[in-house]
Structure formats: C-alpha cells, structure tokens
C-alpha cells in the first residue's frame, strides 16, 4: 500500500479535502494510506516553537529546520520514501506527467510551507522535488498538498471505478477533454449534439477528437506544441 505522509504546521486545514470523495474511497479501500503530521509534535522546545524570524531581517516568519528534520527522520526510520516533496510557489508547476509519475512511485513525504516558507537547509539537504500548483501565492501548502494528492491518488489502479475514465481526462495526451452531456437530450430548446445520440461509436469518437482539438487550439494552444 502506498503511503503519503503530509507534514504541516496546521494539519486541521487538511481534514476536509481528504474526508470525502475519491481520496477517502482510496483510503477506505486500503489502496493508499495518508497520514498528517503536526509539526508542533516534533519541536523539542518547551513552547513547541516551530517558526522564527528570518536571519538578515525582513517581514514574515520561517518554519524552523529542527521540527521538520525531526519529523522526516521519524518517518524514515520506519519506511522508505521515493520522494520528499516541498509545496511552494517558487518551483516547477504541477502537470499531468508529474502526477502520473508520482502515482506509480513508492511512498511520498509532502512538506507544506507556511508564512515565508521553510528554512532553506531543508530544501537543500532533504527535499528531492519541489512543486507549485500555479503562479499565485496561497497562505500555506496545505491546499496545494491536497491538490497534488487528489491528482495522484485518482490515477492509482483500482481507485476509480471506471478505470478508463482517468485515461480520457484532459491533459492525459496534452489535449483537453471534449464536451460531455447527459439526460435530458433536449432542455428548453437546448439540444445535445445529434451525433452523440446516433449510436455510431466511430462517428462519436471522431466528433470527440475534433472537439478536443478545437477546444485545445482555442483555449490552450501551448499544449499542442508540447
């Protein structure tokens, strides 16, 4: 069973995204184990301090090296990990290729930053991969960690009921997914494209491919040159 360990200063922020839907189903099916680790429990200071002012001055607190170091060491004593990932906006942006790779890797440690980030020495010496979820800054790495986990977990075989459905997602072939419709076929004079009701599977496939291509060309032409 794949293990994902998430290290956070505010683990309560992680609860809701993991308590429903696909990720909960994967945990319930024992396909993946996801554990939250509260940094405060790994601080050796009396006051459970986990952050401090940055050397050289400047606003904002930095997560200290010692609690993160202790937590990583604690985890590595019991298990092997393929990657130690740090969620941060100053990193390469997550894409489907990365999620695919991580879905078939071994166990993962994910570190959530907070405030101004984490002591650089953790990044230099323990982190093996850094991931941003987009060019905008969030208050912490918890939501990005949930985004990353969701994108990974849904790709693990056995998690989705209809296994082909992950293969036809947007981005799987650097192309956006085609439009989808469900019943009723006519609603207030808004009609579902006739081809989808034709029963001709070959025609339907051709239509979907055409729509995918048109949509990608219009919205994300950058994907077509990849």
**Longest Cα separation, the chain:** 71
178 forms part of the interface with ligand ADE (CB under 6 A): no
Q: Shortest distance, CB of residue 165 to ligand ADE, whole angstroms?
A: 26
User: For ligand ADE, what does the binding mask look like between residues 52 and 91, x meaning CB under 6 A?
Assistant: -----------------------------------xxx--
8 forms part of the interface with ligand ADE (CB under 6 A): no
- Burial letters for 117-145: b for 16+ Cβ neighbours within 10 Å, e otherwise? bbbeebbeebbebbbbbeeeeeebbbbbb
Q: Shortest distance, CB of residue 55 to ligand ADE, whole angstroms?
A: 21
Instruction: Give the Cα separation of 41 and 10 in Å (integer).
Output: 12
Which residues ranging from 86 to 105 are in contact with ligand ADE (CB under 6 A)?
Answer: 87-89
Q: Give every strand in the sheet of 108-112, ordered side by side.
A: 32-38, 2-8, 108-112, 83-87, 129-131
Give the nearer residue to ligand ADE in terms of CB position, either 134 or 179: 134
Kindly list the distances between the CA atom of residue 158 and the CA atoms of 29, 31, 146, 186, in Å, as whole numbers in the listed order: 9, 8, 20, 35
Instruction: Give the Cα separation of 14 and 8 in Å (integer).
Output: 9
Among 92, 106, 134, 179, binds ligand ADE (CB under 6 A): 134
Give the nearer residue to ligand ADE in terms of CB position, either 134 or 157: 134
Q: Shortest distance, CB of residue 41 to ligand ADE, whole angstroms?
A: 22
- Burial letters for 2-23: b for 16+ Cβ neighbours within 10 Å, e otherwise? bbbbbbbbbbebbeebbeeeeb
Instruction: Give the Cα separation of 128 and 131 in Å (integer).
Output: 10
Considering only 4-12, 103-111, 128-136, 176-184, which stretch makes contact with ligand ADE by CB under 6 A? 128-136
151 forms part of the interface with ligand ADE (CB under 6 A): no
132 forms part of the interface with ligand ADE (CB under 6 A): yes
Enumerate binding residues for ligand ADE (CB under 6 A).
87-89, 113, 132-134, 136-138, 141, 144
């Amino acid at each position: 069973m794949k293990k994902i360990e998430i290290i956070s200063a505010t683990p309560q922020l992680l609860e809701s995204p993991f308590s429903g839907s696909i990720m909960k189903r994967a945990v319930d099916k024992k396909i993946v184990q996801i554990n939250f680790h509260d940094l405060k429990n790994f601080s050796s200071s009396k006051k459970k301090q986990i952050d401090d002012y940055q050397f050289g001055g400047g606003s904002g607190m930095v997560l200290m090296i010692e609690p993160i170091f202790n937590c990583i060491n604690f985890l590595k004593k019991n298990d092997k990990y393929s990657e130690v990932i740090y969620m941060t906006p100053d990193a390469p942006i997550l894409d489907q290729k990365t999620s695919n790779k991580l879905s078939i890797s071994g166990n993962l440690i994910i570190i959530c930053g907070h405030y101004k980030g984490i002591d650089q020495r953790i990044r230099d010496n323990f982190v093996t991969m850094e991931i941003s979820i987009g060019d905008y800054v969030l208050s912490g790495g918890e939501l990005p960690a949930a985004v990353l986990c969701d994108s990974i977990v849904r790709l693990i075989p056995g998690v989705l009921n209809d296994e082909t459905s992950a293969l036809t997602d947007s981005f799987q072939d650097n192309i956006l997914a085609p439009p989808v419709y469900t019943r009723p076929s006519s609603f207030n004079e808004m009609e579902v494209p006739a081809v989808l009701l034709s029963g001709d599977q070959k025609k339907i496939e051709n239509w979907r491919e055409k729509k995918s291509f048109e949509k990608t060309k219009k919205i994300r032409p950058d994907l077509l040159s990849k």
